[in-house]
Each structure stands twice: as C-alpha cells, then as structure tokens.
C-alpha cells in the first residue's frame, strides 16, 4: 500500500473509533440504569425462636427461596429470637417498623385478642393442621385474619406456612393417665391452649421456648409442652424430665405466621410481592418435609439413647379436652361475636372437608402394622 493510500484508511479507522466511543457515551447518558445495578430492597426479619430451635432452619428455608427467586432485587436477612425484640414482641415490632418482617405464630400475640389463636390453634372441629391451613387459603380464613388485623390496628400483611404435626401433650414428672392429674399442675403452654388447661384445672404459665427449661429447673413449672421431639430435645428436656406423652387436642392444628410490615410490603412492587407469597407456599412444603425427617428421627433418639418414657396420651384425656373445649368455645363465643364468626367459619369448612377425608382416607396405621408386624398405640 502506498503512503497516499494509507492516509485515507487511517483516517477512516480513526473516525469509526471516535464514532463508536461517542455512541457508547450517548448510550450511557441516555440509559444510566443499564450501567448501574439497582440496590436490593433489604428486609430485616426476626423469628420467635431460640437460637438452637429447628424453627430457625425452617424460617431460613423461606428466606433462601425468596432471596434466590428475587435475583438480587430483594434480600431478606434473618435473625433468631431475641436478637432485636423478645419472641412474644415480634408482631408489635413488625407493625411499628422496628422489624421489617417476622416469623412467628399467632398464639404469641393472642393477648391482643383471643381470636388470634384461632388462626392455628383453637377449638377442635375435626380438621387437622393440613385441613385448617386449607381453610385459611380456600375457606375464607385469610379474609377473617385480615379483618382481625384491621380491628387491632396492626400494620402488617400476613401469610401462613407449615401445617404442623399434632403437638404432644408434653413432658411430665409422672405420666398423665387421668385428666384429674392436671388439676393444680404448674404447666407451660401458650394461646388458647392456656385457657383450655386452665379450664381443666392446671395452673398455666406462658413462656417462649428458650425460657422453658430454666423455669422447669427453678420450679416455676412442673410440666410443659412446646411443639415436637426435635425442638424439645434441643432445649434439653430429656436431661431434666423423662416422661413424654404424645398426642393432644390442645394444639392439634397450628402453623407458622410469616408477617411483613405493610409499608415495606407496599414498597416492594407486584413482582416481588408475588415472590414473597409464593415463597411462603414453597416453604410450606419444604418445612413439612424437614419436620417429618427430623421429628421422627429425634423421637427414636429420645427413646433409644436418652431412655425417655414415650407414651401415648390416654383416650380419657382426649375426651376431657374435648369437653373442656366445648365449655371454653361457648364462653368465648358468647363474649365476642367475632370469635363466634371465626369458629362458625371453621366449622362450616370442616363439616364437608373432614366428612370427605374420613370417608376416603385409607387406614395407614393398618398398613404400617401389616408391613412391620408391629402394633402401634391406640
């Protein structure tokens, strides 16, 4: 190439390079958000659970799903119970904006209204926890829950997850073979279960999980229930008491309450709200699987390693609980029309749902006994 031919070619390359740079600059000026990543919305969530409780792992299952699905646009940071507020104070803290979100249960704030306890732990109508959480989402329960929040001026949006397996009657120094033994017993429980056991003659103290064993060791309580073999064993119940009774009607249909401050919720946008909502539904399954895996294994550890006397609650105690629920439900319904409305809604749902379920459900206990040649407790 001659010297004369080289000059136009060099000039053309210089022009193209300059033009490309100018175009890139214009793009940066015209569309600045493309060049900068948007900061995530950060949600500070606290649970109501002591540091060792498996419920923190279940809360984290929810958090992990929301964080993964949001693609960095939303970040939920989880704190264990007591990190900012006490376990029973989570609802108030979220409503006031001290916390952005909470992982708790309505029985922990039922002091504001006994109706709260109906959303997860109340009078027996035949439904188990799976069927009751279905009432929340398909039977009108969520609308009643929202109405309760409005009545109480609670500035939160709430969802529910994990239909919990029936909670044990609890831990006792002597096995409970007759409901009369509950009279005068210093017993820990929460929510409407406290009213139930008081109706049955017990002296009830309401405590968060982390305070149970110290209260037992100090003699503040004689017996307690919390939730499941894993949580109970992580508290160290087996080290101070040896009789564990399985099955009860006091909290036979509970689930987690996942709440978020209303102002924070409104700031998230419809797509992130959907991720939060469907994250709850995903955690609902994940938590249930985690629970079955751990609870069943840890019950065997209590029996075989720690020599805990695990027994089935007698039918006479179940019957006494049902009769006490009848009295309590009538009393509270007569005192509070809204309480009566929620109970009636649950019963309307239960009437057909449990009828279908009971008629159709296979006798799995029979199947188990056939396969393993082992008689399960009645």
Q: What is the 3-state secondary structure (H, E, C) of 247-262?
A: CCCCCCCCCEEEEEEH
Yes or no: say if 191 and 106 are a contact pair by the CB < 8 Å rule: yes
Q: Which residues are registered as beta bridge partners of 102?
A: 46, 259
Contact 311, 168 (CB under 8 A): no
The confidence score (pLDDT) of residue 290 equals: 98
- Between CA 304 and CA 268 the distance in angstroms is 49
Q: Are 121 and 253 in contact (CB under 8 A)?
A: yes
Reduced to 3 states (helix: H, G, I; strand: E, B; else coil), residue 362 is: coil
- Predicted confidence at residue 134, as pLDDT, reads 98
Long-range Cβ contact pairs of 91-99 (< 8 A, separation 24 or more): 91/154, 91/156, 91/259, 93/46, 94/156, 94/259, 94/260, 94/261, 95/153, 95/154, 95/155, 95/156, 95/261, 96/155, 97/155, 97/261, 97/263, 97/264, 99/44, 99/45, 99/46, 99/261
Spell out the domains of the chain, with CATH numbers in brackets. 41-164+254-292 (3.40.190.170)
How many CB atoms neighbour CB 354 within 10 A? 16
Please, are residues 243 and 174 in contact by the beta-carbon 8 Å criterion? yes
* Residues 90 and 104 sit within 8 Å (Cβ to Cβ): yes
Q: Name the CA radius of gyration of the chain, rounded.
A: 27
pLDDT of residue 8: 44
What the block records as the tokens of 24 is 């890139």
Note the pLDDT of residue 29: 44
List Cβ neighbours of 284 (8 Å cut-off, separation of 6 or more).
Answer: 133, 160, 161, 162, 163
pLDDT of the residue at 101? 98
Q: CA 158 to CA 26: how far, in whole Å? A: 46
For residue 22, what pLDDT is reported? Answer: 43
Phi, psi of 195 (to 5 degrees): -65, -40
The low-confidence residues of the chain, meaning pLDDT below 70, are: 1-37
Q: Quote the CA–CA distance of 199 and 149 in Å, as a whole number.
A: 27
Q: How many CA atoms lie within 13 A of 334 on its CB side?
A: 6
pLDDT digits (tens, 9 = 90+) for 110-140: 999 999 999 988 999 999 999 999 999 999 9
Strands annotated E in 162-250: 170-172, 186-188, 203-205, 223-224, 243-246
pLDDT of amino acid 37: 55
């Amino acid at each position: 190439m001659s010297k004369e031919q080289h000059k136009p070619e060099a000039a053309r390359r210089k022009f193209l390079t300059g033009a490309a740079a100018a175009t890139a600059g214009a793009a940066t000026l015209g569309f600045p958000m493309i060049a900068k990543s948007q900061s995530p919305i950060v949600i500070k969530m606290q649970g109501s659970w002591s540091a060792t409780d498996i419920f923190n792992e279940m809360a984290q299952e929810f958090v992990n799903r929301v964080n993964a699905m949001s693609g960095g646009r939303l970040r939920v940071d989880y704190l264990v119970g007591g990190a900012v507020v006490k376990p029973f104070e989570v609802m108030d803290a979220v409503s006031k904006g001290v916390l952005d979100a909470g992982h708790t249960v309505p029985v922990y704030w039922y002091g504001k209204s006994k109706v709260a306890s109906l959303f997860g732990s109340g009078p027996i109508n035949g439904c188990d926890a799976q069927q009751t959480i279905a009432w929340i989402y398909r039977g009108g329960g969520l609308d009643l829950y929202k109405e309760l929040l409005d009545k109480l001026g609670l500035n939160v949006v709430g969802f529910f997850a994990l239909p919990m397996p029936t909670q044990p009657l609890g831990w006792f120094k002597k096995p409970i073979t007759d409901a009369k033994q509950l009279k005068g017993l210093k017993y820990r429980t929460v929510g409407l279960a406290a009213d139930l056991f008081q109706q049955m003659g017990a002296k009830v103290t309401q405590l968060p999980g982390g305070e149970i064993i110290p209260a037992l060791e100090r003699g503040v309580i004689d017996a307690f229930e919390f939730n499941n073999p894993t949580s109970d064993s992580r508290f160290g119940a087996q080290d101070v008491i040896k009789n564990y009774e399985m099955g009860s009607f006091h909290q036979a249909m509970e689930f987690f309450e996942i709440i978020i401050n209303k102002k924070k919720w409104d700031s998230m946008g419809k797509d992130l709200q959907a991720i939060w909502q469907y994250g709850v539904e995903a955690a609902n399954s994940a938590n249930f699987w985690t629970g079955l895996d751990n609870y069943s294994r840890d019950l065997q550890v209590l029996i075989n390693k720690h020599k805990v006397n695990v027994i089935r609650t007698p039918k006479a105690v179940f019957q006494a609980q049902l009769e006490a629920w009848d009295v309590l439900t009538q009393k509270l319904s007569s005192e509070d029309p809204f309480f009566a409305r929620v109970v009636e809604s649950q019963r309307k749902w239960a009437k057909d749902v449990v009828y279908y379920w009971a008629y159709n459900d296979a006798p799995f206990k029979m199947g188990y006994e056939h396969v393993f040649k082992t008689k399960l407790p009645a």
